[in-house]
Amino acid sequence: MNRFRTRPGTRAALAALAILATAAVASGATTGSSAPSATLVVDRSFEIKTADPQRAFEPTAAIVDRGIYDTFFTYKGGDLAHPRPLLVQSWSASRDAKTFVFRLRRNVHFADGTPLTSADAVFSFNRLINLKGNPSFLLDGVTVSKRGKYAVVLHSKTPNAALPSILTNTSLGIVNSKLVRKHGGTSAAGGDKNDKAEKWLNSSASRGAGSGPYLLQRYSTTSQITLVPNPRYWGTRKAAFKTVVIRNMIAPTQLINIQRGKHEVAIDLSADQAQTIRGNKRLNVKTGPSTWIFWLFANNNSAISSITPNKQFQTAVRYALDYRSIVSVAGPGAIQAPGMIPSMFLGSLPRKEAIKQNLTRAKAALAASGAGSKTIQLEFPSDLTINGVPFASLAQRVQANLQAAGFHIELAGATVGTWLQKYRDGKMAFGLSLWGPDYPDPLDYLAFMPGELVGTRAGWPAGSDPAIEKLAAKARITTKAGARQTVYRQIQRRLNAVGPFFPLLQPTQVFVSTRDLKNAVFNAQYQVDVTQVAPR
């Protein structure tokens, strides 16, 4: 989730930074065998507030709710580019990408045996909207209705080709409407004040609420959460473990546990910690790029700066950066970001298209800009570290790169709160920032277009670049995967050529599992999809 939006989810994510830093160590034995009746253990630093799917929007909650509740679409393994139908049998979209019709499978039932129908989906989606919680923005501007017993119609006020990707989110898991109503739930307006079902959904009494392969047995936001098999699961991929235990563990304890455990996963290790166990033959240690993008921007508003709007200045910045040196700040597994869309998403640029340092071109552009002798401040959140990358270290590396090309750069770090307010107000001339996806779809990155959320913050109003704005308008209504990839790549190439943004790196995501597991991979939407993991 993007920590720098102005949505409710942003506030929750910022608060999670503090929680992650102080998560308590929980106890728990690691037991099991390679037999299908084994126990799966997932170690994670908790930031969970609730398991109620329409209220939850934290990574730990996604692990839990993925096991309990089915969604319209899902992903296979770590692939985030291609949402796959789960509850949906078929679907269609209008040419303007505003109206979607989803036809549901007819063989799905909840854990208490109740058939899952369009009424349950409409209830679940309207409940999310009317609870007005952290994930409610996922259906901003969307109205929901049913068409018969097994079809659901979503109509968006604006083109929304990202809906299939959005509908993979566990916050949009389908709940048993009859049971949830019985225990105080409502999908009506005023749900934020009148819905009383959360406590029940956080208890083992809610076992009929979902249609997924697992049931909630034990719930705690501070120690551990336990799932057990749903004996009435409708799908072919039954629960592979007799118990799934998600434990609240800080990273140093995760490092110890994973080396001695069986059927175990550790999610929060740093790149340095991962290096210490690479030789362990009992473990699969995977380091790869995360979905976060660190980037630099130069404000286009001449009222904010007389230097940064200059296109020669921006060209000089773009080609002065030593991207290999910058990526090294993040450690093994990190990559240079070829564009603003993460490498694992539909529409991302091939890594070979990433900008390469060209000092000759940079120095010539800097001279042409007339800004070579002027000092400019580089602003950044000095107290923020994401995926092992301290903003302060990254800022120092950028400063060194630019000064080697003839720039005069002064570092101006501030606390994240102070920095964030100035950035959101659009008053920052030259800054380091970060973007994490609200959902795994390239539509989320149209925020960088002129006149949109991030474009406005960088002094890039609507009408600034008709060529890229025309591409963005086309992207909003394009629903076919191949065509979407083409148009989003065109957008990023244009951004890389003339935009005020300079993508820097995708930091390292570490994922460690014991070798007695199969299908254990990191998935940015669910962290780990417990419905796909199985013993070897």
> Which of 16, 8, 15, 48 has the alpha carbon at shortest distance from 129?
8
| Lowest mean per-residue pLDDT among 8-17, 34-43, 143-152, 219-228 | 8-17
- Residues 475-498 have a mean pLDDT of 97
Q: Where in the chain is the domain with CATH 3.40.190.10?
A: 23-287+510-535
- Which pLDDT tens digit goes with each residue over 209-234? 999 999 999 999 999 999 999 999 99
Measured in whole angstroms, the distance separating CA 236 from the mean position of its chain's CA atoms is 28
Tell me if 457 sits within 8 A of 434, measured CB to CB. no
Return the pLDDT at 394: 98
Confidence at 2, pLDDT banded by 50, 70, 90: low
Cα separation, 510 vs 456, in Å, equals: 34
**Average pLDDT, stretch 286-291?**
95
pLDDT of residue 37: 82
Has residue 322 got a pLDDT over 80? yes
pLDDT for residue 524 is more than 70: yes
User: What torsion do the CA atoms of 171, 174, 179, 183 make, to the nearest 10 degrees?
Assistant: 10
Please tell me the predicted confidence (pLDDT) of residue 1: 52
Half-sphere exposure of 119 (CA within 13 A, CB side): 12
pLDDT for 303: 98
Contacts of 192 (CB under 8 A, 6+ apart): 130, 131, 132, 133
Residues of each domain in the chain carrying CATH 3.10.105.10: 293-506
Q: For all residues of the chain together, what is the average pLDDT? A: 93
Q: Read off the pLDDT of residues 292-314 as tens digits, 9 standing for 90 and up.
A: 999 999 999 999 999 999 999 99
Q: Which residue type occupies 431?
A: G
Render 17-62 in DSSP notation, one character per residue.
HHHHHTPPP--------SSTT-EEEEEE--------TTT--SHHHH
What pLDDT, on a 0 to 100 scale, did the predictor assign at position 17? 36
Q: Are 492 and 340 in contact (CB under 8 A)?
A: yes
Strand pairing partners for 258?
A: none
Is residue 145 predicted with pLDDT exceeding 70? yes
Sequence-separated (6 or more) residues with CB below 8 Å from residue 163:
93, 100, 142, 154, 156
Token output for 35: 């037999």
Task: Please say if the pLDDT value at position 414 is more than 80.
Answer: yes
pLDDT digits (tens, 9 = 90+) for 343-395: 999 999 999 999 999 999 999 999 999 998 999 999 999 999 998 899 999 99
Q: What is the pLDDT of residues 95-120, one digit of tens each?
A: 999 999 999 999 999 999 999 999 99
Residues 6 or more apart whose Cβ sits within 8 Å of residue 16: 47, 58
Class of the CATH domain delimited by 23-287+510-535 = alpha beta
Residue 154: strand pairing partners: 100, 144
pTM check: above 0.75: yes
Structural fold of domain 293-506: Dipeptide-binding Protein; domain 3 (3.10.105)
β strands within 237-355, DSSP E: 243-248, 264-266, 283-289, 293-298, 335-336
